[in-house]
Amino acid sequence: MSTSAPPSSGRPAGGFAAILRALRYLRRYRLEALGALLSLLLVSVANLGAPQMIRIAIDQGLARGERRPVMLAVGGLVAIALGRGLFNFLQGYLAERASQGVAFDLRDALFARIQRLSFSYYDQAQTGQLLTRLTSDVEAVRTFVGSGAVQFVAAAAMVAGCTGLLLWLDPVLALAALLSVVPILFLLRSFTTRMRPLFGQLQALLGTLNTTLQEDLRGLRVVRSFSGEAREVERYGRTNEQLRTQNLRLVDALANNFPFVSFFANLGTLMVVGVGGWRIFHQQLSLGELLAFNSYLAFLLMPLMTLGFLAASLSRASASALRVFELLDTAVEVTDRPGAVPLPPLQGRIELRDVRFRYAGSEREILRGVSVTLEPGQLVAVLGTTGSGKSTLINLLPRFYDVTGGAVLLDGHDVRDVTLASLRSQMGVVLQDALLFSGTVRDNIAYGHPDATQAQVEAAAEAAQAAEFIRELPQGYDTVVGERGVGLSGGQRQRLAIARALLTDPRLLILDDSTSAVDARTETAIQGALDTLMRDKRRTALVIAQRISTVRDADLILVLDEGRIAAQGRHEELTATSELYNDILGSQLQPARQEGAA
Ligand SMILES: Nc1ncnc2c1ncn2[C@@H]1O[C@H](COP(=O)(O)OP(=O)(O)OP(=O)(O)O)[C@@H](O)[C@H]1O
């Protein structure tokens, strides 16, 4: 990970502040940026020198019939051409190095932030928008901050330098020429302000397009099984069409801007010719002076056109910088408190003290005063009607969310007072969707414990009843499994996830003991693996129970109903006393079809 830190944490007041903040990322690459700027200024100086060489060749050489000045001028022109080539190359190379550095730092900082952002953020954020910010928005900022900014400064310096030169050559003519520069500057200013929101909308549309694509790729099976292809093509097409319209609006705005800039630029020449002609007529100016003045005027207008061109890049970059910094400045809700201490090695006592919870932006309280104490080594089954808050409750232990009232205590420590790393490293979480990362089977099992030995990995796989199918894979533990574990069946993925949890040997285990629709043999294997994991008395296990065998074995069963514990106890007690428990038992749980031990 890079050592770059965002140069400032304040929320940018607007596009301009955002672009200034992006420019501050150049500080780490100041040598490259200054080198690029210097090279570009030298290219401009070389450009300014060429007419002088031609003037020397004509006035001092050809006019007087002398060869030496002509040879000198030709030599000078060759040197200028070489210099221009060298400095152009240096400018491009150094600007690219600086801009790639800035893009690298921005992407790193964004990715680090995405890793830390709370689940509540992801409940509302669209993945496509996040992807767009890390790719297209960073690219827009990069393009401007690297080469654009250097060209901008060089053009501004040229404008200032040429203005000074023109004023020095002939103040009256210069003022006449500069009259046309004022409207150009106003045009550019209003252009950048108008374009910024348009570019912001463009990036947001690109995000929506990416979200649609990403949802469709994830949901390919659902789309195909409901014959939704045509509908999805239409949905994508709609956003795609909006994106095209927005792009065309921008092209329109860009195309409309240039004729005006060019009109005022030409007006400048017209003013010079008009006023100059009038002054020649009154013998206040020579023809040669007017021609010289006019060629320097061209050096003023050229960077002005460059500024016009860069204005679009600036608008785009500032709209993107706003989006990048908005993400970088998003507060991380669940994070280490100042003074948070590491959680000592867990015994496994869990106390929920009048726990209340509501999701951000929702009025409804999902958990409404849950109080219970779980002893070390207990297997605790959580049951409840659908939507009663089971998943919400278990998400509070690893602090995927923080309680909105009451407290969760582990061995007497409020989970909010200890460091997240020490808290989560002592917990194993196995949920229904067994996600695997692209990498080898071994890497996936050792995800929580990368230093594990091959023997430890194999022991975990054995206990998770995964060893047999792993051995049959083409490269065994070195077989590369794809994104989301493509290439493995649902049941195999689930057993790898169980092996992953077993390897970290957590004192506290949170799991969903459901088995996906698999054949009877695989189901028995998965259930065997789950039982190994949760019935180990060295750990406290909190299980969203889906199987009767789990509740029969549980030391404690919590029955949730509308965010409250409606009943608790062991299987025999609850069967005798709780109507709700019996209802759930009858309607929701999988019978002990394949469970010899149950
Ligand atoms: N991220 C979220 N944002 C807002 N509301 C949510 C979120 N997740 C869940 N809810 C709501 O909270 C309530 C409890 O959901 P939860 O997933 O905890 O229930 P559950 O008991 O696990 O249900 P099930 O057995 O159906 O999985 C539901 O009404 C659900 O709509």
pLDDT digits (tens, 9 = 90+) for 222-251: 888 888 889 999 999 999 999 999 999 988
Q: Is 11 a residue whose pLDDT tops 70?
A: no
Ligand 1 near 122 CB (within 6 A): no
> For a pocket test of ligand 1, which of 359, 364, 546, 559 has the largest count of ligand atoms closer than 8 A to its C-beta?
359
Provide the phi-psi class of 339: left if phi over 0, else alpha when psi is between -120 and 50, else beta: left
**Average pLDDT value for residue range 56-61:** 80
Q: Retrieve residue 543's tokens.
A: 């299980």
Ligand 1 near 391 CB (within 6 A): yes
Ligand 1 near 563 CB (within 6 A): no
- Name the least confident of 158-172, 226-240, 322-336, 389-403: 158-172
Ligand 1 near 546 CB (within 6 A): no
Ligand 1 near 390 CB (within 6 A): yes
Asked if this assembly's ipTM is beyond 0.85, the reply is yes
- Name the least confident of 315-324, 331-340, 522-531: 522-531
Query: Measured in angstroms, how far is the CA atom of residue 431 from the centroid of ligand 1?
Result: 15
Supply the DSSP symbol for 483.
G
Q: Are 223 and 216 in contact (CB under 8 A)?
A: yes
Q: Are 417 and 340 in contact (CB under 8 A)?
A: yes
Amino acid at site 402:
D
Ligand 1 near 362 CB (within 6 A): yes
pTM equals 0.76
Q: How many CB atoms lie within 10 A of CB 559?
A: 24
> For a pocket test of ligand 1, which of 118, 123, 364, 392 has the largest count of ligand atoms closer than 8 A to its C-beta?
392
- Domains of the chain (ranges plus CATH)? 16-328 (1.20.1560.10), 342-426+553-598 (3.40.50.300)
- Name the least confident of 65-79, 130-144, 264-278, 371-385: 264-278
Ligand 1 near 184 CB (within 6 A): no
**Average pLDDT value for residue range 587-596:** 59
Q: Give, in degrees to the nearest 5, the angle at Cα 167 between 165 and 173.
A: 120
